[in-house]
Amino acid sequence: MIAFLRGRLASVDANQVVVDVGGVGYSLAVPAGTLDRLPATGREVTLHTSLQVREDAWSLYGFATPEERRAFELLVGVNGVGPRLALAVLSGLGPAGLAQAVLLEDAAALARVPGVGKKTAQRLILELRGKLGGLDEAGLAPAAPTAEAGPAGGGDAFAEAAAALAALGYSGAEAARAVEAARRRLPGGGADADVEVIVRQSLRELAR
């Protein structure tokens, strides 16, 4: 398996890029989030890759972050979701938006992605929810709790929830505000809530 490519960014065309690695040009399809992070043409770039093998073609997909690649590979593992649709989902939502939609069972958000109908959105929620677990299996595992991420007066579960939100791409300030809002809404101040419950409520607060 090709885990990553590092070389000169030779060209960018729509959602396709070519990376020159030692004189060999590799063509990769990439999502919008990766396109936004690309350096100028001619500069060095590193892309995490996923090789998708079909009967009629071997196609290489590139991603700016490991989280994008893991989300892509989870998506193509869903029945009826091919690489093109997986790229469309990532381009429309990004890993954080995908995780939020699945955790909140927000089929409407998924269905707004071109090519994703109501049934496909429901299938994504059903199949990815089981695979995501507490976000860790999606490659979005909570980072070690930090003082910046933890809410005032929060316990370890709140600090872990804030770190999970930070791993999803939210800033430390956004994570802290969302977790603090979740603490105020949860019964008993969330004293007995586990991390997944706090993350779910925090995502609701971020979606308000």
Q: Model confidence over 197-208: pLDDT tens digits? A: 888 888 888 877
Q: Which residues pair with 62 in a beta bridge?
A: 49
Three-class HEC string of the chain:
CCCEEEEEEEEEECCEEEEEECCEEEEEECCHHHHHHCCCCCCEEEEEEEEEECCCCEEEEEECCHHHHHHHHHHHCCCCCCHHHHHHHHHHHHHHHHHHHHHCCCHHHHHCCCCCCHHHHHHHHHHHHHHHCCCHHHCCCCCCCCCCCCCCCCCHHHHHHHHHHHHCCCCHHHHHHHHHHHHHHCHHHHCCCCHHHHHHHHHHHHHC
pLDDT higher than threshold 70 for residue 132? no
Tell me the mean pLDDT in the region 136-155: 41
Walk me through the domains of the chain, giving residue ranges and CATH numbers.
Answer: 4-63 (2.40.50.140), 66-138 (1.10.150.20), 156-207 (1.10.8)
pLDDT higher than threshold 50 for residue 189? yes
Q: Which two tokens stand for residue 35?
A: 């396109």
Q: How confident is the model at residue 92 (pLDDT cuts 50, 70, 90)?
A: very high
Residue 40 to residue 45: CA distance in whole angstroms:
9
Tell me the pLDDT tens digit for each residue of 32-44.
999 999 999 999 9
9 vs 130, residue with greater confidence: 9
Q: Which residues pair with 5 in a beta bridge?
A: 47
pLDDT higher than threshold 70 for residue 152? no
Tell me the pLDDT tens digit for each residue of 99-124.
888 888 889 999 999 999 999 999 99
Tell me the pLDDT tens digit for each residue of 70-82.
999 999 999 889 9
Does residue 72 contact residue 90 with C-beta atoms inside 8 Å? yes
Tell me the mean pLDDT in the region 66-73: 91
